[in-house]
Structure 1
Protein backbone atom coordinates (compact mmCIF):
# COMPACT_ATOMS: atom_id res chain seq x y z
CA UNK A 1 0.00 0.00 0.00
CA UNK A 2 1.24 3.48 -0.84
CA UNK A 3 2.31 5.73 2.05
CA UNK A 4 0.59 8.59 0.22
CA UNK A 5 -2.87 7.01 0.58
CA UNK A 6 -3.25 7.44 4.34
CA UNK A 7 -5.42 10.56 4.52
CA UNK A 8 -9.19 10.38 4.96
CA UNK A 9 -12.12 12.77 5.26
CA UNK A 10 -11.74 16.50 4.76
CA UNK A 11 -7.95 16.29 5.01
CA UNK A 12 -7.90 13.99 1.96
CA UNK A 13 -10.19 16.33 0.00
CA UNK A 14 -8.05 19.34 0.94
CA UNK A 15 -4.85 17.53 -0.09
CA UNK A 16 -6.41 16.31 -3.35
CA UNK A 17 -7.48 19.85 -4.24
CA UNK A 18 -3.95 21.07 -3.57
CA UNK A 19 -2.48 18.36 -5.81
CA UNK A 20 -4.97 19.25 -8.53
CA UNK A 21 -4.09 22.94 -8.45
CA UNK A 22 -0.38 22.07 -8.44
CA UNK A 23 -0.97 19.95 -11.55
CA UNK A 24 -2.83 22.76 -13.29
CA UNK A 25 -0.06 25.19 -12.37
CA UNK A 26 2.63 22.79 -13.65
CA UNK A 27 0.74 22.27 -16.91
CA UNK A 28 0.19 25.99 -17.41
CA UNK A 29 3.79 26.97 -16.69
CA UNK A 30 5.48 24.03 -18.40
CA UNK A 31 3.29 23.08 -21.35
CA UNK A 32 2.78 25.49 -24.25
CA UNK A 33 0.04 23.26 -25.71
CA UNK A 34 -1.92 23.50 -22.45
CA UNK A 35 -1.64 27.30 -22.46
CA UNK A 36 -2.88 27.37 -26.07
CA UNK A 37 -5.87 25.23 -25.12
CA UNK A 38 -6.63 27.50 -22.17
CA UNK A 39 -6.67 30.41 -24.62
CA UNK A 40 -9.04 28.51 -26.92
CA UNK A 41 -11.28 27.81 -23.93
CA UNK A 42 -11.17 31.46 -22.82
CA UNK A 43 -12.46 32.40 -26.28
CA UNK A 44 -14.92 29.57 -27.02
CA UNK A 45 -16.63 29.07 -23.65
CA UNK A 46 -17.85 32.68 -23.34
CA UNK A 47 -18.90 32.51 -27.00
CA UNK A 48 -20.90 29.36 -26.23
CA UNK A 49 -22.67 31.25 -23.43
CA UNK A 50 -23.79 33.98 -25.82
CA UNK A 51 -24.87 31.84 -28.78
CA UNK A 52 -28.57 31.30 -29.42
CA UNK A 53 -28.54 27.53 -28.91
CA UNK A 54 -30.36 25.12 -26.64
CA UNK A 55 -29.03 24.30 -23.17
CA UNK A 56 -27.97 20.84 -24.34
CA UNK A 57 -26.12 22.29 -27.33
CA UNK A 58 -24.46 24.89 -25.07
CA UNK A 59 -23.39 22.14 -22.68
CA UNK A 60 -21.91 20.15 -25.59
CA UNK A 61 -20.03 23.18 -26.91
CA UNK A 62 -18.48 23.74 -23.49
CA UNK A 63 -17.91 20.05 -22.70
CA UNK A 64 -15.83 19.36 -25.81
CA UNK A 65 -13.63 22.36 -25.01
CA UNK A 66 -13.05 21.12 -21.46
CA UNK A 67 -12.48 17.59 -22.75
CA UNK A 68 -9.55 18.83 -24.84
CA UNK A 69 -8.00 20.29 -21.67
CA UNK A 70 -8.44 16.96 -19.88
CA UNK A 71 -6.85 15.07 -22.77
CA UNK A 72 -3.91 17.51 -22.82
CA UNK A 73 -3.36 17.04 -19.08
CA UNK A 74 -3.32 13.26 -19.52
CA UNK A 75 -1.06 13.54 -22.58
CA UNK A 76 1.38 15.73 -20.65
CA UNK A 77 1.31 13.30 -17.72
CA UNK A 78 2.17 10.38 -20.02
CA UNK A 79 5.01 12.37 -21.58
CA UNK A 80 6.39 13.33 -18.15
CA UNK A 81 6.25 9.73 -16.95
CA UNK A 82 8.01 8.48 -20.09
CA UNK A 83 10.69 11.17 -19.75
CA UNK A 84 11.11 10.30 -16.05
CA UNK A 85 11.84 6.69 -16.98
CA UNK A 86 14.40 7.62 -19.60
CA UNK A 87 15.21 10.35 -22.09
CA UNK A 88 16.68 7.75 -24.45
CA UNK A 89 14.82 7.15 -27.69
CA UNK A 90 12.85 3.93 -27.57
CA UNK A 91 10.09 2.65 -29.88
CA UNK A 92 7.68 2.06 -26.97
CA UNK A 93 8.30 5.55 -25.60
CA UNK A 94 7.68 6.99 -29.05
CA UNK A 95 4.47 4.98 -29.39
CA UNK A 96 3.20 6.17 -26.00
CA UNK A 97 3.91 9.81 -26.81
CA UNK A 98 2.46 9.50 -30.32
CA UNK A 99 -0.72 7.90 -28.95
CA UNK A 100 -1.12 10.75 -26.48
CA UNK A 101 -0.70 13.19 -29.35
CA UNK A 102 -3.26 11.25 -31.40
CA UNK A 103 -5.73 11.43 -28.51
CA UNK A 104 -5.31 15.19 -28.42
CA UNK A 105 -5.74 15.43 -32.19
CA UNK A 106 -9.05 13.55 -31.87
CA UNK A 107 -10.16 15.81 -28.99
CA UNK A 108 -9.41 18.90 -31.08
CA UNK A 109 -11.20 17.37 -34.06
CA UNK A 110 -14.18 16.74 -31.79
CA UNK A 111 -14.29 20.45 -30.94
CA UNK A 112 -14.36 21.32 -34.63
CA UNK A 113 -17.02 18.71 -35.48
CA UNK A 114 -19.35 19.55 -32.58
CA UNK A 115 -19.07 23.31 -33.07
CA UNK A 116 -19.61 22.94 -36.84
CA UNK A 117 -22.62 20.63 -36.41
CA UNK A 118 -24.29 22.94 -33.91
CA UNK A 119 -23.50 26.24 -35.64
CA UNK A 120 -24.05 25.08 -39.22
CA UNK A 121 -26.73 22.45 -38.60
Structure 2
Protein backbone atom coordinates (compact mmCIF):
# COMPACT_ATOMS: atom_id res chain seq x y z
CA UNK A 1 0.00 0.00 0.00
CA UNK A 2 1.27 3.47 -0.84
CA UNK A 3 1.99 6.04 1.83
CA UNK A 4 -0.22 8.59 0.16
CA UNK A 5 -3.61 9.98 1.14
CA UNK A 6 -6.54 10.02 -1.27
CA UNK A 7 -6.31 12.90 -3.76
CA UNK A 8 -7.95 16.10 -2.61
CA UNK A 9 -7.25 19.29 -4.56
CA UNK A 10 -7.52 21.64 -1.59
CA UNK A 11 -5.50 19.43 0.74
CA UNK A 12 -2.80 18.95 -1.91
CA UNK A 13 -2.68 22.70 -2.48
CA UNK A 14 -2.19 23.24 1.23
CA UNK A 15 0.74 20.78 1.14
CA UNK A 16 2.29 22.74 -1.73
CA UNK A 17 1.87 26.04 0.10
CA UNK A 18 3.37 24.52 3.25
CA UNK A 19 6.33 23.33 1.20
CA UNK A 20 6.80 26.79 -0.32
CA UNK A 21 6.62 28.44 3.11
CA UNK A 22 9.19 26.01 4.45
CA UNK A 23 11.65 26.42 1.59
CA UNK A 24 11.33 30.21 1.71
CA UNK A 25 12.04 30.29 5.44
CA UNK A 26 14.86 27.73 5.49
CA UNK A 27 16.76 27.92 2.18
CA UNK A 28 18.99 30.95 1.59
CA UNK A 29 19.59 30.09 -2.07
CA UNK A 30 15.85 29.95 -2.71
CA UNK A 31 15.40 33.35 -1.04
CA UNK A 32 18.11 34.88 -3.25
CA UNK A 33 16.55 33.42 -6.39
CA UNK A 34 13.09 34.57 -5.28
CA UNK A 35 14.40 38.12 -4.81
CA UNK A 36 16.00 37.91 -8.26
CA UNK A 37 12.63 36.85 -9.66
CA UNK A 38 10.84 39.74 -7.96
CA UNK A 39 13.39 42.15 -9.44
CA UNK A 40 13.31 40.66 -12.95
CA UNK A 41 9.55 40.14 -13.36
CA UNK A 42 8.98 43.86 -14.08
CA UNK A 43 11.81 43.71 -16.64
CA UNK A 44 9.94 40.95 -18.48
CA UNK A 45 6.82 43.10 -18.50
CA UNK A 46 8.52 46.35 -19.51
CA UNK A 47 10.93 45.18 -22.21
CA UNK A 48 9.64 45.47 -25.79
CA UNK A 49 9.92 41.90 -27.07
CA UNK A 50 7.54 39.26 -28.38
CA UNK A 51 5.26 37.23 -26.14
CA UNK A 52 7.28 34.09 -26.94
CA UNK A 53 10.49 35.79 -25.78
CA UNK A 54 8.78 37.05 -22.63
CA UNK A 55 7.58 33.50 -22.00
CA UNK A 56 11.11 32.14 -22.39
CA UNK A 57 12.44 34.72 -19.92
CA UNK A 58 9.74 33.78 -17.42
CA UNK A 59 10.17 30.03 -17.86
CA UNK A 60 13.95 30.26 -17.39
CA UNK A 61 13.44 32.34 -14.26
CA UNK A 62 10.93 29.86 -12.85
CA UNK A 63 13.25 27.01 -13.83
CA UNK A 64 15.80 28.21 -11.28
CA UNK A 65 13.21 28.15 -8.50
CA UNK A 66 12.01 24.71 -9.58
CA UNK A 67 15.58 23.39 -9.69
CA UNK A 68 16.32 24.83 -6.25
CA UNK A 69 13.18 23.15 -4.90
CA UNK A 70 14.24 19.80 -6.37
CA UNK A 71 17.72 20.23 -4.88
CA UNK A 72 16.28 21.01 -1.46
CA UNK A 73 14.03 17.95 -1.63
CA UNK A 74 16.99 15.73 -2.54
CA UNK A 75 19.08 17.15 0.30
CA UNK A 76 16.30 16.65 2.83
CA UNK A 77 15.65 13.06 1.82
CA UNK A 78 19.37 12.27 1.98
CA UNK A 79 19.61 13.90 5.42
CA UNK A 80 16.58 11.88 6.53
CA UNK A 81 18.34 8.66 5.57
CA UNK A 82 21.71 9.55 7.11
CA UNK A 83 23.47 12.54 8.60
CA UNK A 84 26.78 10.71 8.46
CA UNK A 85 29.09 11.08 5.49
CA UNK A 86 28.42 8.53 2.80
CA UNK A 87 29.75 8.64 -0.76
CA UNK A 88 26.32 7.90 -2.28
CA UNK A 89 24.72 10.63 -0.18
CA UNK A 90 27.38 13.06 -1.44
CA UNK A 91 26.73 12.02 -5.03
CA UNK A 92 22.97 12.53 -4.63
CA UNK A 93 23.51 16.00 -3.17
CA UNK A 94 26.03 16.82 -5.92
CA UNK A 95 23.49 15.86 -8.57
CA UNK A 96 20.96 18.18 -6.90
CA UNK A 97 23.51 20.98 -7.04
CA UNK A 98 24.19 20.19 -10.70
CA UNK A 99 20.46 20.58 -11.45
CA UNK A 100 20.56 24.10 -9.98
CA UNK A 101 23.81 24.93 -11.79
CA UNK A 102 22.40 23.83 -15.15
CA UNK A 103 19.21 25.83 -14.59
CA UNK A 104 21.30 28.93 -13.89
CA UNK A 105 23.27 28.39 -17.11
CA UNK A 106 20.00 28.05 -19.07
CA UNK A 107 18.69 31.22 -17.37
CA UNK A 108 21.82 33.22 -18.25
CA UNK A 109 21.96 32.01 -21.86
CA UNK A 110 18.29 32.78 -22.49
CA UNK A 111 18.37 36.21 -20.83
CA UNK A 112 21.62 37.29 -22.51
CA UNK A 113 20.50 36.01 -25.91
CA UNK A 114 17.11 37.74 -25.80
CA UNK A 115 18.17 41.01 -24.15
CA UNK A 116 21.33 41.32 -26.27
CA UNK A 117 19.17 41.71 -29.39
CA UNK A 118 17.03 44.58 -28.12
Q: Secondary structure at the match of 2:84?
A: coil
- Moved beyond 3 Å, runs of 4+: none
Q: TM-score, normalised by structure 1?
A: 0.93
Report the RMSD for the aligned CA atoms in angstroms.
Answer: 1.0
Stretches of structure 2 that go unaligned for 5 or more consecutive residues are: none
Stretches of structure 1 that go unaligned for 5 or more consecutive residues are: none
For 2:2, the equivalent position in structure 1 comes to 2
Name the CA distance, whole Å, in 2 between partners of 1:93 and 1:40. 30
Q: Residues 49-88 of structure 1: matches in 2 within 5 Å?
A: 49-88=45-84
Which is bigger in relative contact order (C-alpha 8 A, separation at least 6)? 2
For 1:92, the equivalent position in structure 2 comes to 88
Structure 1, residues 35-73: CA drift from partner, whole Å, max 9, x if none? 011001001111111101100000000110001101100
Name the CA distance, whole Å, in 1 between partners of 2:89 and 2:30. 21
Q: Number of aligned pairs?
A: 117
Name the CA distance, whole Å, in 1 between partners of 2:3 and 2:90. 32
The Cα shift of 1:3 comes to 5.0
Name the CA distance, whole Å, in 1 between partners of 2:3 and 2:105. 40
The Cα shift of 1:14 comes to 0.3
Q: Secondary structure at the match of 1:89?
A: coil
The question of whether the paired residues in 2 share the 8 Å contact of 1:67 and 1:107 is answered with yes
